[in-house]
Each structure stands twice: as C-alpha cells, then as structure tokens.
C-alpha cells in the first residue's frame, strides 16, 4: 500500500524515511505541538513552499530546464484568489472562479513560453523567462485598478476559513478550533495530495522520459521522443502546480502583493531550497523547504539569545546580532552545500547504498 502511495519511489534510506515521517507528523500536529501564531505561520509557509519547490524540481531536477518565471506562475495563482475574492466577495464560488482563471492563464502562458522558447539553448531560455517574469512583476505593480499596485490586495475569505470563526467554544487539547486552524489543515491536505501527485508524475513513464532528456536530449531525440513536446508538457505541469501553491499562500495570508509572491528573492529562495534538499528528488523539496523556512523564521530569535549570552565579549555579541541573520543564513547554506553536495536526500541515499552500487 505504501509502495503504491509513494509511486514505487521509496526513500531507500532508513534515516531519510525517519526524517520524512517526523516531518509529516510535525506538520500534521503543528498547531498542537507548537502553539502560537508564529509557529503556525512558519508551518503554513513550509506547506506552501513544499508544493512550490517540488513543482520547480519537476522542471529543473527532472527535466533539466532552468526557468526564472516560476514565481510568475506562483504570483498568478495568488492574484487569481485575491482579485476574485475582492471583486466577488468572500465566497467559495469566488475562490473557485479565481483559481480556475489563474490556472487557465498559467496554462496559456506556460504553453506559449514553452512552444516559442524551449527550442533555444538553455541559457537563452533562462533569459527569456527572466524577461517575461520581470514584465509581469512590473504589470502587477502598475495595474493598481486590478492588482492594488504596490499596496497589493487585502481580502476576506469564506466564513469557515476566517480567524473570527469558531467551530467550538471549547478548546481541544488546548487549541481553539477556529477558521485559522481549518485553513491550515486545508493547506495540509492540499499540499500532501499535490506532493503525492508529483511523485506519481516523476515515477511514471512520462517522468522517465523527462529524466532521459535531462541526461542526454540528443539521445532521447534519436530514439524517437519529441523533446520539445515533453519539455513543454513539463513546463506546463510545473506552472500549474506553482499556480496552486500561490493560491495556497494567498488563502493563508488573505493578502497578496508584488513582493509577496512575484519577487526575485522568492525565486532565489526556491533555488536554494532545491539545492539544499537535493535536485531530482521530490522528497528533497519537503526537507529543504522545512529546513529553510524554520531557519528563516527562527534564526533571528536564536541569534538574539546567542548575542545576549555573549554580551561579555562585545565583538562576538556584535557578530551574533539578529540584524546579521542573512549573513548566518548564507553561512548555513554554504556549509549545507559543502557537506551535502547532492542535497540532503542525495547524501542520505548515498550513505544507505552499498559501496559497490554507488555511482562514481
């Protein structure tokens, strides 16, 4: 049953399996294990970025395509929910219309970009996607009548997902069952379903062809596979999953703006998470997203404690200042790449593989 659920792509490492199970349980019971608004926000962002990074891994890790337009589709999904909810009101119908419209726009754009750009060399395709993403970021900032401009859009969600809604006045295990909690578990279920769907895709015959194209596109073309078609389909699927991740983010924040979902910094974060977790491993998206989001959310707090503890040494206290959290995040990234050159998942799987079967 487990083998079928995971599309025959088992962790292949006891340590990795334990880490994945621990992560699944931590996210499933996060509202009860880690009470507080900040902890729940970090857990929700982990769920969103798991889907976003896994969708990008389908493009980069499995197909070998470098695209900088991924956050554009992420933003389209978020704006679809925001614009529809602002115009049509806080209803389930508005969410459905917004999501359907965003998916349709993402489908058309990804198809056009793929058909007209995937025939060129990788670096030129990356530059084309960067230009398109920059154009959409500018449009989102300037079309204030639709997108709210730089201020973005704040909207309401259906009553059941609103923080003011309480399903029960009596707390359960010390936690109030309110709309915020229901919204979190909606994201949890959606993220789990989408991740399992991506696992099914990459371990299907279609996914095997994508990996063959990544390894040697000329050989794949020679044995009869239409490389441009497969790359285009991969690009479209990746865009649709990224769009769904953007809708998840907007639903959780009840707000969306250019910097929230379309900024270049988010694209850089996605690239870092893919490298940390391990390219070409959907599991790496889950582990990398959890590590990065937790570090981003709590590194400042840890540095604040360390800086206070080192107050007797002014130079060390200044070095550990919370204002330098980006510096330490960069150090952690460099160390993770040095010790895990194939990502966390790749390293754990390599350790579990007998020496005679390892790739040289």
- At 310 the pLDDT is 82
pTM for this predicted structure: 0.92
Beta bridge partners of residue 175, listed in sequence order: 172
- The stretch 330-357 carries a mean pLDDT of 77
HSE toward the beta carbon, residue 184, CA cutoff 13 A: 23
Residues 255-313 pLDDT 10s: 999 999 998 889 989 998 998 898 888 999 999 999 999 988 888 888 888 888 888 87
Residue with tokens 């992420």: 74
Give the per-residue pLDDT at 336: 80
| pLDDT at residue number 358 | 54
User: Please, what is the angle between helix 282-309 and helix 264-277, to 10°?
Assistant: 100
User: What local confidence, expressed as pLDDT, does residue 163 receive?
Assistant: 84
Q: Which two tokens stand for residue 355?
A: 């020496």
- Residue 110: pLDDT band (50, 70, 90) is very high
Cβ-based neighbours of 320, under 8 Å, separated by 6 or more: 303, 306, 307, 310
Q: What is the mean pLDDT of residues 239-252?
A: 96
CB 225 within 8 A of CB 212: yes
Rounded Cα distance, 70 and 82, in Å: 19
Average pLDDT over residues 342-352: 83
Output the pLDDT for position 119.
65
Q: Residues of the chain with pLDDT > 70: what percent?
A: 93
Cβ neighbors of 295 (< 8 A, separation 6 or more) are 329, 332
CA 11 to chain centre: 20
27 contact partners, CB below 8 Å, separation of at least 6: 43, 46, 47, 188, 290
- Which of 148, 143, 134, 157 is CA-nearest to residue 250? 157
Kindly indicate the confidence band of residue 143, based on its pLDDT and cuts at 50, 70 and 90.
Answer: confident
Residues 54-96: tens digit of each pLDDT: 999 999 989 888 888 899 999 999 999 999 999 999 999 999 9
- Judge whether 49 and 29 are in contact, CB under 8 Å: no
DSSP state of 175: B
Residues with Cβ within 8 Å of 258's Cβ and at least 6 positions away in sequence, in order, are: 75, 137, 140, 141, 147, 150, 152
Whole-angstrom distance, CA of residue 58 vs CA of residue 204: 13
Average pLDDT of the chain is: 87
The number of distinct structural domains making up the chain is 1
Q: What does the pLDDT look like over 151-203, one tens digit per residue?
A: 999 999 998 888 887 777 777 776 778 889 999 999 999 999 999 999 999 99
CATH of residue 187: 1.10.3470
**pLDDT on residue 5:** 62
Full residue range of the structural domain in which residue 34 is found? 2-357
Count other C-beta atoms under 10 Å from residue 128's C-beta: 18
Distance CA 283, CA 141 (A): 35
| Distance (Å, whole) CA 33 – CA 129 | 41
Q: What pLDDT is recorded for position 360?
A: 41
């Amino acid at each position: 049953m487990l083998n079928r659920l995971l599309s025959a792509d088992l962790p292949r490492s006891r340590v990795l399996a334990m880490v994945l199970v621990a992560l699944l349980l931590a996210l499933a019971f996060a509202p009860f294990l880690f009470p507080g608004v900040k902890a729940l926000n970090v857990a929700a962002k982990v769920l969103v970025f798991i889907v976003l990074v896994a969708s990008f891994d389908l493009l980069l890790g499995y197909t070998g395509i470098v695209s900088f337009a991924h956050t554009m589709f992420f933003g389209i999904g978020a704006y679809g929910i925001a614009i529809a909810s602002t115009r049509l009101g806080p209803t389930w119908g508005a969410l459905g219309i917004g999501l359907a419209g965003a998916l349709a726009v993402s489908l058309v754009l990804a198809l056009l970009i793929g058909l007209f750009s995937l025939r060129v060399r990788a670096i030129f395709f990356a530059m084309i996607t960067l230009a398109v993403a920059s154009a959409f970021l500018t449009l989102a900032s300037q079309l204030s009548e639709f997108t709210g401009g730089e201020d973005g859009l704040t909207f309401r969600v259906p009553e059941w997902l609103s923080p003011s809604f309480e399903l029960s006045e009596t707390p359960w295990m010390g936690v109030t069952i309110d709309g915020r909690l229901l919204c979190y578990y909606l994201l949890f279920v959606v993220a789990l379903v989408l991740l399992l769907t991506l696992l099914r895709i990459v371990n299907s015959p279609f996914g095997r062809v994508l990996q063959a194209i990544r390894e040697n596109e000329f050989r794949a073309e020679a044995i009869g596979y239409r490389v441009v078609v497969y790359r285009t389909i991969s690009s479209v699927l990746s865009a649709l999953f990224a769009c769904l991740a953007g809708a998840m983010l907007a639903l959780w924040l009840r707000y969306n703006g250019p910097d929230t979902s379309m900024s270049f910094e988010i694209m850089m974060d996605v690239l870092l998470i893919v490298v940390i977790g391990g390219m070409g491993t959907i599991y790496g998206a889950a582990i990398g997203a959890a590590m990065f989001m937790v570090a981003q959310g709590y590194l400042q707090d840890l540095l604040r404690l360390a800086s206070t503890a080192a107050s007797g040494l002014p130079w060390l206290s200044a070095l550990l200042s919370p204002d330098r959290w980006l510096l330490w995040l960069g150090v952690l990234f460099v160390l993770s790449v040095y010790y895990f050159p194939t990502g966390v998942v790749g390293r754990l799987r390599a350790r579990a593989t007998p020496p005679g079967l390892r790739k040289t």
